Each structure stands twice: as C-alpha cells, then as structure tokens.
Amino acid sequence: MLDQKAHKPHERLAAHLKDDLSQVDEMIRARMASEHAPRIPEVTAHLVDAGGKRLRPMLTLASARLCGYEGGHHIHLATAVEFIHTATLLHDDVVDESGQRRGRPTANLLWDNKSSVLVGDYLFARSFQLMTEADSLRVLQVLSNASATITEGEVLQLTAAQDLGTTEDTYFKVVRGKTAALFAAATEVGGILAGVSEDRIKALHDYGDALGIAFQVVDDLLDFWGGDATGKNIGDDFRERKLTLPIIKAIARGDDEERAFWKRTLEKNDQRDGDLERALEIMTAHGALDDTRAAALDWAARAKACLDALPEDPIRDMLSDIADYVVARLN
C-alpha cells in the first residue's frame, strides 16, 4: 500500500494512514461548516486547503493505530487536534499583526482581524464538540490542559519578548506551550483511546513532547540558518525581537560590547543595516548556532528513545524516522 513516491517519513506515514487521513479531511470539511454563518468556512478553507502536512492529526491517528485501536473515534480526535492547531494559527496572526501596526487598521485588515479571532473561537468550540463525541472524559482533560498550556506559552512569549534576561528555562517553557503541548496531547490521546497501559500512554506523551521541542528548536534555528524550507525570511525572529535559543545562548556568553549590541537591537528596538549580519557573527563566534543544533538533536534522540516502550510496528519505525527527519532539515 506504500506510495512509491513517498520518500520523506511523514509522507510514508501519510501513505500508510491514507484511509484514516481522508476521513479526517472529510470531517474537517463537514465540521468547519456553519449553517448560520457562511463566512466561517470561507476563512477556514483558506487555511485548511493550504494544507500544511497535517502532522498533528497524523500523530493522533498513528498513535491510535500503533496501539491497536480498532474503533472510529480517532478520526474525531485527529480532527479536533487539527482544529485546535488551526485556531491557534488564526489567533497568532492577530497577535503578530497587532505588534506591527499601531493606530487604526484599514477596513480590510480590520475584517481579517475580526474573522481571525471569531473563526478561531469557532474552531476551538468545534474541537470540543468533536472530543465529546469520542466519549472519553480523560481525552477531554488532556486536550483542555494542552489548550491552556498553549495559551500560557504564548502569553509567556509575549512577556518574555525583548527581555535580555530571558533564560533557557523560560525559553523551553514557551516552546513546551506553543508547540510541544499539542504534539504531546495528540500522541497521548491516541493511546488513551486504545486503552493501553499507563506506561505506554506516558511514552506516547513523552515522544510527542520531545518531538515538539525538537521541531520548535529547529524552527528557531532555521530562522538564522536558512529559512527557505520554512517559508520564513532569515532573521524574522531577530527583527521581531524574539528571544530564541541561539540568541539566549549568545547573550549569556557575550562581553560588554556585545551586550550593548543586544540591548540596542532587541531591547530598544534600534535596528540598523548590517545588524542581522552582526548578530549572526556573534552567535557563530560563541558556537550558539552549533549548540542549538546539538540541543535539537538531543531532543530528537529523546523522542526516539520513548518509542522503545511501544509495540514493534511499521508505524513505530516511521515515528522514529520522523524524529530524525525533523532535525534533518538542518542539513
């Protein structure tokens, strides 16, 4: 059944879970509809069709199948996970935009902001409707906890932004919130649905958590390392004054002159031509990029190690390959 053209591990997993995934696609379309407010699927379709890799819902499907689940509720949960992810993307847009544009936005922009807020809320509510259909209070607990953690991570990121005192500890709290919490919940609920042992549920959670952290650390590194694969421009985080791991490492190792540079560019937002190049130079000199890469590799290795507790299965091998692939983006 494997798609011959699928070389990347998440594509192989997608081919393996093809039938489940097409049911998820169908459910996404059905549940984002609104009888009373046709504007809702218009806004959502844009995001949902743009596609992404459906990585998070795929993790839920894979976990459930890996644990021998034979029912149909993993489709509901995978759809719920994708809705939560899409809702946070919509709200992130508002959060990031409002940072850049002060004063009154244009009518067009205004409409976008309104739609993003409300349609995000709609998807969030829909995701909880879907979860109730899976008939498991524990699943609802895990996913509502994850939702709270996601938001805490985003708020923490806001308050930590532009703060040169941000520690690696704070950085990882933010990353756990904004990325790893949903990965971990996505894998965990597959195991809960299948009714496996607490050890295996924990292993699934820890795999998702470590994978999510590796994923985000790589993303933050690619912002400096080479942005083509992510669709971001090199230096976006620097310009937005986000304190990501490479910068935090470089700041900690810098001398007074470098500290003044970070203070000017990140705290005081006085950025000039050549500053991004200078930032890269400083980070390279202190080995901050290499050490961030090592951290990403370490988290990917931790993710793979968690899989030992789970049954041997082609899906398990693909999940392991996905952990490798996440950091292979750095090569």
Separation between Cα atoms, residue 241 and residue 162, nearest integer Å: 6
Closest distance of CB 98 from a copy of itself, Å: 4
Separation between Cα atoms, residue 178 and residue 218, nearest integer Å: 14
Judged by CB under 8 A, the number of residues near a copy of itself is: 51
Separation between Cα atoms, residue 231 and residue 215, nearest integer Å: 15
Q: What are the distances in angstroms from CA 105 to CA 97, 117, 327?
A: 10, 15, 39
Question: Integer distance in angstroms from the first to the last C-alpha of the chain?
Answer: 30
- Pick between residue 182 and residue 222 the one whose CB is nearest to a copy of itself: 182
Q: Which of these segments, 50-58, 127-135, 245-253, 293-301, binds a copy of itself (CB under 8 A)?
A: 127-135
Q: What are the distances in angstroms from CA 183 to CA 57, 58, 190?
A: 9, 10, 11
Residue 83 is a binding residue for a copy of itself (CB under 8 A): no
Q: Give the contacts of 151 (CB within 8 A, at least 6 positions apart).
A: 177
- Pick between residue 133 and residue 324 the one whose CB is nearest to a copy of itself: 133
Of the candidate residues 15, 34, 52, 240, the single one contacting a copy of itself (CB under 8 A): 34
Closest distance of CB 235 from a copy of itself, Å: 20
Residue 286 is a binding residue for a copy of itself (CB under 8 A): no
Separation between Cα atoms, residue 216 and residue 213, nearest integer Å: 5
Of the candidate residues 39, 202, 253, 302, the single one contacting a copy of itself (CB under 8 A): 39
The conformational region for residue 226 under phi > 0 = left, psi -120 to 50 = alpha, else beta, is: left
Residues 154-183 that bind a copy of itself (CB under 8 A): 154-156, 158-159, 173, 177
Residue in the structure block whose two tokens are 């490492």: 249
- Pick between residue 90 and residue 318 the one whose CB is nearest to a copy of itself: 90
Residue 121 is a binding residue for a copy of itself (CB under 8 A): yes
Of the candidate residues 45, 89, 118, 301, the single one contacting a copy of itself (CB under 8 A): 118
Residues 88-117 that bind a copy of itself (CB under 8 A): 88, 91, 94-95, 97-99, 110-115, 117
Of the candidate residues 1, 4, 7, 36, the single one contacting a copy of itself (CB under 8 A): 36
- Pick between residue 124 and residue 261 the one whose CB is nearest to a copy of itself: 124
Separation between Cα atoms, residue 222 and residue 264, nearest integer Å: 23
Q: Which of these segments, 16-24, 133-141, 208-216, 317-325, binds a copy of itself (CB under 8 A)?
A: 133-141
> To the nearest 10°, the Cα dihedral for 81, 314, 11, 196?
0
Separation between Cα atoms, residue 285 and residue 65, nearest integer Å: 46
Q: What are the distances in angstroms from CA 311 to CA 17, 65, 158?
A: 17, 11, 40
Q: Where along the sequence are the contacts to a copy of itself (CB under 8 A)? A: 34, 36-40, 88, 91, 94-95, 97-99, 110-115, 117-122, 124-126, 128-129, 131-132, 135, 137, 140-141, 144-145, 147-148, 150-156, 158-159, 173, 177
